[in-house]
């Protein structure tokens, strides 16, 4: 197993804060985190928040992630990055996925945007690294939670099937359909 990972988090909102802190606290191998945002002061604030909230000490650095240009610092970080976790609005996903492919990084995003996901699937079809799409709360985490709870239920009550298992989250997409929205 690799001893160290350089994880780039694109975006500096509340999701980036949560993901960064979880990565610091729950990773078996403490990573280096690089927080990129179009507003450097916001990226610095998130990096500081993660650093202050973590019980582990590691390299946590903010960098400028411009909307339209590439900076030398950004390119240098991308060259040594192992994975880019896209916490930006879904409309930015194809651009960030292209960076992952161009710089040989794995890519994970949290968006449920359908058109952008389809673009990334085409882009990633010949990639040499992994592209994990739609890993957010729904459909990502909620599916893992449901599976884990189902397995525990089966174990606790000695059953191997249930009639219905439904989970709902507090976010609605424009693709939500009745009756489950």
pTM: 0.79
Closest to 92 in 3D by CA, of 35, 34, 11, 18: 11
Upper half-sphere CA count for residue 40 (Cβ side, 13 Å) = 7
Would you write out the chain's pLDDT as a tens digit for each of its 181 residues? Answer: 678 899 999 999 988 998 899 899 888 888 999 999 999 999 999 999 999 999 999 999 999 999 888 899 999 999 999 999 999 998 999 999 999 999 999 999 987 788 999 999 999 999 999 999 988 766 667 777 788 888 889 999 999 888 888 877 766 566 666 655 4
> Can you tell me the distance from the alpha carbon of 73 to that of 55, in angstroms, rounded to the nearest whole number?
28
Quote the pLDDT of residue 173: 61
């Amino acid at each position: 197993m690799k001893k160290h990972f350089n994880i780039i988090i694109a975006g500096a909102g509340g999701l980036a804060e949560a993901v960064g802190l979880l990565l610091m606290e729950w990773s078996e191998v403490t990573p280096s985190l690089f927080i990129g945002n179009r507003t450097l002061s916001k990226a610095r604030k998130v990096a500081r928040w993660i650093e202050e909230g973590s019980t582990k000490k590691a390299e946590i650095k903010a960098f400028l992630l411009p909307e339209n240009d590439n900076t030398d610092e950004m390119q240098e970080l991308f060259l040594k990055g192992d994975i880019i976790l896209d916490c930006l609005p879904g409309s930015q996903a194809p651009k960030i996925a292209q960076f992952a492919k161009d710089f040989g990084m794995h890519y994970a995003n949290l968006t449920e945007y359908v058109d952008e996901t389809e673009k990334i699937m085409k882009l990633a079809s010949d990639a040499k690294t992994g592209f994990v799409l739609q890993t957010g709360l729904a459909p990502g985490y909620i599916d893992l939670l449901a599976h884990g709870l189902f397995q525990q239920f089966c174990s606790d009550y000695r059953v191997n099937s249930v009639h219905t298992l439904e989970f709902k989250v507090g976010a609605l997409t424009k693709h939500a359909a009745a009756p489950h929205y």
